[in-house]
Structure 1
């Protein structure tokens, strides 16, 4: 059995947690002789449902290999992540097929990768063709929703695609939503220029998530009738937010939290393949990008137009607390419990019988990210180390 001492993320009370295999055997009060302010905080492992790669590896790479998948996926426990969804964006069928094939092979070859990859996220290619909503997705591969194509990709992935982001106005989208949700696939609205009526039709058909709400939009919207407000007002939609400090201003994060409440928000880093790389100019099939010293990823040659995110998930936890003043409990539940429940997985919880997926961390006031001491996946310390007490 493995045991650890830390302060609970939800109450900050000192506890002793005992693990037996991939489950929590006991959570008991700890009775330390001295102060516990220097004890790490323990929380359920982070679950990020939108990660595009890491360290120069893109899951959408046409030549993706299982070895590259392993390198990118196993980087994330260093940031407290115990489950994630490799995300493939708009591409040709062959390009998507190669990505899902490599992810499947990596999961079948490496037990740790299999444990970390909860599911896959297909973001596109059934999205808006318009500049702004389309974001960085390549126009030449945007196409109507096609259930037959999706079924082929699902088979190639080994039935791992659990989340699809699409635009409600794409040809065939509403029927695709009905069929997908009937087959256990979660549908998100994103990269859309939909009318309010089209947004409501998508939700009526079964869509339950707004992908990175507030991003992938036109620069200018009608002040009343627009897809952003319609999704914000729709109580059946959970909203995912990129709270990396660059994608959304603090005021908008506060507004969305007030309207949706932390129970209906999922935090994601939406990390690009350049996350984890040093500052510099990089090039991929999506174009030239520059990673600035600030951590902001922009289209090369200017400083404002974003080219994705280069931050990992723990940064988003810190930033949502800075922007909106939420508790550790709310910030971490939005990054662990909520995404798991949305996708139909058992959330990790700090209680007897809960999944042994935990991480221990500290945070210095003013620091831009967490200092992760150890991450536990399926009852095993996969990075860092535990204190001996």
Structure 2
């Protein structure tokens, strides 16, 4: 798997302060053991200086570790330019959310030290699509996510360089308009967007995922894990960027009050098992949505 969205793995959290060389190497060892080709280390919404410092630390540690260089193909910046409205903001801290600006985007991209490959933002929070346009001009893939743009705004963002949609069906409220909602808008633009899905049966029920895959087509679909540090570790209490998380016996990552998901613990071996039991893609199709499409989307 070439995984575009990994917040952490096997006890290592990329979003916490004080990432060490040992913990980064451990995560990379475990990812490789699980059959992963490479990942984008994902950093979620926080204070800009904190996000910058964490990305800079990872980039510096990666430079000294050949395995980390092999396994970490780049960085995915998820936020802080997202929609702060409840439901759409998901598990991201609302107080740290801010509108997109080229100035702030440049600060984050510079901190990533040339590793920024993907940025998730809300098109409706990017005035004049200036941030989307600038990022695209830097060769960075821009993805809509944690957002609620109208279809016209989403289409206009595509005109300015938007190329992807982050974890379709998630980062949105449980209750939305029955037809005119962000999931339907994203699917309607599948010829212009790569559509990413978390295939764990929880973030999207398998029957719904099958519907989405039929609508989008495997040519435009990408599987991601949205993995957090608790991946591979089983039930217990963990954290993501300082947020408390409870992993139940069902291996689902939830907030302590159970009100929403906080990332995922699904792994590449479990995705393959889920596909065999519930999704039903051919091996060629699974390889396409998990390996070749992610690379193609990033121009790699």
Shorter-chain-normalised TM-score: which range? over 0.9
Secondary structure of 1:239 counterpart: strand
How far apart are residue 70 of structure 1 and its match? 2.3
How far apart are residue 138 of structure 1 and its match? 0.4
How far apart are residue 284 of structure 1 and its match? 5.1
- 1:297-323 per-position Cα deviation (integer Å, ceiling 9, x unaligned): 222244x73222112123223323433
How far apart are residue 336 of structure 1 and its match? 0.5
Q: What is the TM-score when the length of structure 2 is the normalising length? A: 0.94
Name 1:153's counterpart in structure 2. Answer: 108
Q: 1:285 to 1:114 in 2, by over 3 A?
A: closer
Which among 193, 215, 221 is matched to residue 176 of structure 2?
221
Q: Measure the CA separation in 2 of the matches of 1:286 and 1:265.
A: 31
How far apart are residue 157 of structure 1 and its match? 1.9
Q: Measure the CA separation in 1 of the matches of 2:112 and 2:257.
A: 37
Name 2:218's counterpart in structure 1. Answer: 262
Name 2:68's counterpart in structure 1. Answer: 113
Residues 15, 240 of structure 2: 8 Å contact kept = no
Q: Measure the CA separation in 2 of the matches of 1:257 and 1:173.
A: 31
Which among 233, 242, 254 is matched to residue 277 of structure 1?
233
Residues 253, 323 of structure 1: 8 Å contact kept = no
How far apart are residue 285 of structure 1 and its match? 5.0
Residues 189, 209 of structure 1: 8 Å contact kept = yes
How far apart are residue 338 of structure 1 and its match? 0.6
Residues 88, 147 of structure 2: 8 Å contact kept = yes
Aligned counterparts, 1:163-312, within 5 A: 163-172=118-127, 174-234=129-189, 235-283=191-239, 285-302=241-258, 305-312=260-267
Residues 126, 132 of structure 2: 8 Å contact kept = no
Q: Measure the CA separation in 1 of the matches of 2:128 and 2:38.
A: 29
Residues 234, 251 of structure 2: 8 Å contact kept = no
Residues 243, 268 of structure 1: 8 Å contact kept = yes
Q: Measure the CA separation in 2 of the matches of 1:120 and 1:284.
A: 17
Q: Measure the CA separation in 1 of the matches of 2:183 and 2:86.
A: 16
Structure 1 gap ranges (5+) = 1-45, 346-389
Secondary structure of 2:123 counterpart: coil
The range that moved more, 132-141 or 103-112, is 103-112
Q: Measure the CA separation in 2 of the matches of 1:216 and 1:286.
A: 19
How far apart are residue 286 of structure 1 and its match? 4.8
Which among 282, 289, 293 is matched to residue 334 of structure 1?
289
Residues 147, 176 of structure 1: 8 Å contact kept = yes
How far apart are residue 279 of structure 1 and its match? 1.2
What is the root-mean-square deviation in Å for CA atoms of aligned residues? Answer: 1.7
Residues 82, 146 of structure 2: 8 Å contact kept = yes
How far apart are residue 111 of structure 1 and its match? 1.1
Which among 297, 308, 324 is matched to residue 279 of structure 2?
324
Secondary structure of 2:124 counterpart: coil
Q: What is the TM-score when the length of structure 1 is the normalising length? A: 0.73
Q: 1:336 to 1:283 in 2, by over 3 A?
A: closer
Q: Measure the CA separation in 2 of the matches of 1:101 and 1:285.
A: 16
Residues 28, 67 of structure 2: 8 Å contact kept = no
Aligned positions, number? 299
Structure 2 gap ranges (5+) = none
Residues 101, 130 of structure 2: 8 Å contact kept = no
- 1:191-236 per-position Cα deviation (integer Å, ceiling 9, x unaligned): 0022222211111211111100011111111122222111101111
Query: Whose strand proportion is higher, 1 or 2?
Result: 1
Name 2:9's counterpart in structure 1. Answer: 54
